[in-house]
């Protein structure tokens, strides 16, 4: 039996992961499940999968979790520290599906104990990519992409020599405002922004899809995962979300990964890797699909894409600042304190301020430095 832990088990990716594990329960022993607010789901899954430990990040939720699991023999814990500590438990495979930079520490602990890390939490690589990849190499830990575009690239690269790669093209659905005018985007509400045309995902990544901050994070994630140069990474809008990514090689071949918009494909690939096993996603009917279309991702409409290139060119703590400023600006948008387009304006302003203050560049990044840059960026966004 493979020992598995799922961080962010109550979320969209976490639930899809448990769906796959639940279809083959004899193959897995669930060690840790974590959540935040959704204690009912966490307790229900902890009982169903007979987890050893259930952890909520919210200290105030500990009594509720304890009540919900009383008599089960399942250990309970609460707080960010308890989540990080849970990741030090020996485990074969860890799903990193917490949303936000809160996923960084548990992912690092999982890597340090040599677990295979299935990484949905792209924030980990955006904020601290070089550090995380170096720790994984030191510990001999494997990191497998779960983000659909990166899983697609990873699959297209299997058996290939990375030196023969000319370009990596990641696709974007265009999100909620694909066909909206700039005026409509300026006036957009959180409800409008949290409606995705193709994918069912958590609220925050859905809004990030509409602003293309999600794609901006994914450009940086691609750079960290595959070591390609920023200028080799392209973004194209593909409204049907059937091709997730393409890899272009020196001989002119362009390998496209086609799949239904169902995260269980990418999760299953990371769960079963290096083998392929049956995954119950919809089989695509090419004739019924009829066509696949592509359009340019307009930098004017999507400043996040331009900012991602700036962040990659700057290096250092620019990724940590970019991610944190985005997370805080998103909080403000969801709370209706700022408009949809103000998110990018604030993120850019914070990058400019912190670069001018000399806080972004220089030397190898450290974990303390990442956490400090993250905190400062959040404070600056809120203070504007």
The annotated binding site for 1-deoxy-D-xylulose 5-phosphate is made up of 122, 148-149, 173, 196, 209, 214-215, 218
Contacting ligand NDP within 254-293 (CB under 6 A): 263
| CB of 380 vs ligand NDP, minimal distance in Å | 20
Asked if 376 is part of the footprint of Mg ion (rule: CB under 5 A), the reply reads: no
Q: Which residue of 4, 5, 14, 210 would you call a contact of ligand NDP, by CB under 6 A? A: 14
Q: Is 241 helix (H, G, I), strand (E, B) or coil?
A: coil
Beta bridge partners of residue 258, listed in sequence order: 243
| CB of 363 vs ligand NDP, minimal distance in Å | 27
Nearer to Mg ion, 147 or 327 (CB): 147
Asked if 147 is part of the footprint of Mg ion (rule: CB under 5 A), the reply reads: yes
Q: Which residues contact 359 (CB under 8 A, 6 or more apart)?
A: 317, 321, 373, 376
Give me the 103-142 binding string for Mg ion, x by CB under 5 A, dash otherwise. ----------------------------------------
| CB of 182 vs ligand NDP, minimal distance in Å | 25
Say if residues 14 and 41 touch (Cβ distance below 8 Å): no
Binding site partner of 199, from ligand NDP, Mg ion, none, Cβ cut-off 5-8 A by kind: ligand NDP
Say if residues 220 and 305 touch (Cβ distance below 8 Å): no
**Looking at residue 362, what DSSP letter applies?**
S
Nearer to ligand NDP, 7 or 28 (CB): 7
Beta bridge partners of residue 171, listed in sequence order: 236
Which residue from 305, 348, 299, 296 is spatially nearest to 326, judged by alpha carbons? 348
| CB of 241 vs ligand NDP, minimal distance in Å | 11
> Phi-psi bin for 183: left (phi > 0), alpha (psi -120 to 50), beta?
alpha
Q: Is 44 helix (H, G, I), strand (E, B) or coil?
A: helix
Give me the 111-150 binding string for ligand NDP, x by CB under 6 A, dash otherwise. ---------xxxx-----------------------x---
| CB of 306 vs Mg ion, minimal distance in Å | 19
Contacting ligand NDP within 95-114 (CB under 6 A): 97-99, 102
Nearer to ligand NDP, 199 or 249 (CB): 199
Q: Report the binding-site residues.
A: 10-13, 36, 38, 121-123, 147-149, 173, 196, 202, 209, 214-215, 218
| CB of 104 vs ligand NDP, minimal distance in Å | 10
Nearer to ligand NDP, 97 or 312 (CB): 97
In the chain, the DSSP E strands lie at: 2-7, 28-35, 53-56, 75-78, 93-96, 116-119, 143-145, 165-172, 233-237, 243-249, 254-258, 295-296
Gap between the Cα atoms of 351 and 16, Å rounded: 35
Contacting ligand NDP within 37-96 (CB under 6 A): 37-38, 57, 83
Nearer to ligand NDP, 91 or 241 (CB): 241
Task: Please spell the DSSP secondary structure of 144-178, one letter per residue.
Answer: EE-SHHHHHHHHHHTTS-GGGEEEEEEEE---TTT
Binding site partner of 201, from Mg ion, ligand NDP, none, Cβ cut-off 5-8 A by kind: ligand NDP
Asked if 208 is part of the footprint of Mg ion (rule: CB under 5 A), the reply reads: no
Say if residues 354 and 346 touch (Cβ distance below 8 Å): no
Nearer to Mg ion, 114 or 239 (CB): 239
Task: Please spell the DSSP secondary structure of 90-129, one letter per residue.
Answer: --SEEEE--SSGGGHHHHHHHHHTT-EEEE--THHHHHHH
Asked if 202 is part of the footprint of ligand NDP (rule: CB under 6 A), the reply reads: yes
User: 295-296 and 254-258 as β-strands: parallel, antiparallel, unpaired?
Assistant: unpaired
Gap between the Cα atoms of 15 and 249, Å rounded: 36
Give me the 149-188 binding string for Mg ion, x by CB under 5 A, dash otherwise. x---------------------------------------
Gap between the Cα atoms of 270 and 266, Å rounded: 6
Positions touching ligand NDP (CB under 6 A) are 8-14, 35-38, 57, 83, 97-99, 102, 120-123, 147, 199, 201-202, 204-205, 263
Positions touching Mg ion (CB under 5 A) are 147-149
């Amino acid at each position: 039996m493979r020992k598995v832990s799922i961080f962010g088990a109550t979320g969209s990716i976490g639930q899809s992961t448990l769906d796959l594990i639940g279809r083959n329960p004899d193959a897995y022993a669930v060690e840790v499940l974590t959540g935040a607010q959704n204690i009912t789901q966490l307790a229900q899954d902890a009982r169903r999968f007979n987890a050893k430990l259930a952890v909520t990040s919210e200290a105030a939720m500990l009594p509720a979790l304890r009540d919900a699991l009383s008599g089960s023999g399942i250990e309970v814990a609460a707080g960010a520290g308890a989540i990080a500590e849970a990741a030090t438990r020996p485990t074969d495979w860890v799903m990193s599906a917490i949303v936000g930079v809160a996923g960084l520490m548990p992912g690092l602990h999982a890597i340090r104990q040599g677990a295979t890390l299935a990484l949905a939490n792209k924030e980990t690589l955006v904020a601290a990519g070089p550090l995380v990849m170096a720790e994984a190499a030191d510990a001999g830990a494997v990191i497998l992409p779960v983000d659909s575009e990166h899983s697609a690239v990873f699959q297209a690269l299997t058996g290939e020599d990375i030196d023969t790669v000319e370009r990596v093209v990641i696709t974007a659905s265009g999100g909620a405002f694909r066909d909206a005018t700039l005026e409509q985007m300026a006036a957009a509400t959180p409800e409008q922004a949290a409606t995705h045309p193709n994918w069912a995902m958590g609220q925050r990544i859905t809004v990030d899809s509409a602003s293309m901050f999600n794609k901006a994070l994914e450009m940086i994630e691609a750079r960290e995962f595959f070591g390609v140069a920023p200028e080799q990474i392209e973004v194209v809008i593909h409204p049907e979300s059937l091709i997730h990514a393409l890899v272009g090689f020196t001989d002119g071949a362009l390998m496209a990964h086609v799949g239904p918009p169902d995260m269980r494909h990418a999760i299953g690939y990371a769960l079963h890797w290096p083998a392929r096993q049956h995954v119950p996603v919809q089989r695509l009917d090419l004739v019924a699909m009829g066509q696949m279309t592509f359009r340019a991702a307009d930098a004017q409409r999507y400043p996040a894409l331009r900012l991602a290139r700036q962040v990659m060119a700057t290096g250092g703590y620019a990724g940590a600042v970019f991610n944190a400023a985005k997370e805080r600006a998103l909080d403000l948008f969801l709370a209706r304190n700022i408009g949809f387009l103000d998110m990018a304006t604030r993120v850019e302003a914070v990058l400019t301020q912190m670069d001018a203050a000399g806080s972004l560049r220089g030397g190898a990044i450290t974990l303390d430095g990442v956490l400090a840059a993250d905190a400062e960026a959040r404070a600056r966004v809120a203070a504007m």
